[in-house]
Amino acid sequence: MKVEKGLAEGFSGKIGDMVFYQRNGRTYARRAPTPKSSGKQKERSEKQKASTTRFQLLQRLYAYYKRSISADIWRVAAREKGRMAHNLFYSENYGCFDGKGQLVKPELLRFSAGSLLLPPGLRVERTGDGVFRATWEAEEEWETCAGTDRLLAGVVYPSLMPSMYRALESSGTRGELAGTFRVRTDLGPTAHVYLFFGRADGTAYSPSLHFLVEVAAAKDGTAEDAAEAKTE
């Protein structure tokens, strides 16, 4: 069965009881052989159900990402690797979710991907409730980094998991060694922030780096103002 154009286009592999494969540049699907016992179809395993749940969630997330954040970021990154954009998004983020579709490893989530480099010493500091300043160290200009590269920021709010949003009012360029952005303060005390850089003309992007930030100062004044990057 030929698959119509959509999120499954270009995908190869098994989802539930369907096998997707490529032939002459087209995507086809067929039902996988199912072992039978006593004349009844074998029930799907918990692992198969969990895999389907993750895949369906990533489909929804990617569709939302294209519509509300950017239709170009993953498309540009995928073109550099000779892959389909949605497949790259799925493969980069599949391991962040559990079998129930919950984001259990936010530090591994990739808000972006691409060939640009992240600058060294990238840090985030809160300067007001919901307002943050990012700083980084100077570096020489190469093909993979230019002073005009723009600072970009994505946000995941724990109270709205799983979700992906663009940070508000982000500004700053690589050459300025600093930038600012804002997150909402009405969606919980913390937020997962993902900083990355984009070429000024939109032709290349960098991978993202994760920070867990306190959105507002604690009432007892003990909250840390600086956030360290969380990587694995």
Same domain for 65 and 23, yes or no, is yes
Q: Report the domain count for the chain.
A: 2
What are the pLDDT digits (tens) for 68-101? 999 999 999 999 999 999 999 999 999 999 998 8
In a domain, 38, yes or no: no
Give which of 158, 162, 156 is closest to 208, Cα–Cα.
156
What are the pLDDT digits (tens) for 176-213? 999 999 999 999 999 999 999 999 999 999 999 999 99
Same domain for 133 and 168, yes or no, is yes
Residue found by looking up tokens 């992240």 in the block: 118
pLDDT at 161: 81
Structure-model confidence comparison of residues 113 and 36, the more confident one: 113
Strand, helix or coil for residue 120:
coil
Instruction: State the virtual CA torsion across 185, 74, 211, 130 in degrees, nearest 10.
Output: -20
Same domain for 129 and 94, yes or no, is no
Same domain for 54 and 120, yes or no, is no
Domain that holds residue 62: 13-32+45-104
Same domain for 182 and 85, yes or no, is no
CATH number at residue 158: 2.60.40.10
| CA distance linking residue 18 with residue 29, whole number of Å | 6
Give which of 196, 171, 175, 181 is closest to 70, Cα–Cα.
196
| CA distance linking residue 129 with residue 114, whole number of Å | 31
What would the mean pLDDT of 214-232 be, rounded to a whole number?
Answer: 62
Same domain for 181 and 212, yes or no, is yes
| CA distance linking residue 32 with residue 111, whole number of Å | 33
What are the pLDDT digits (tens) for 133-187? 999 999 998 889 999 999 999 999 999 888 899 999 999 999 999 999 999 999 9
Same domain for 219 and 121, yes or no, is yes
Same domain for 127 and 159, yes or no, is yes
Length in residues, the chain: 232
What would the mean pLDDT of 6-27 be, rounded to a whole number?
Answer: 66
Is the confidence at residue 223, as pLDDT, over 50?
no
pLDDT band at 26 (very low <50, low <70, confident <90, very high): confident
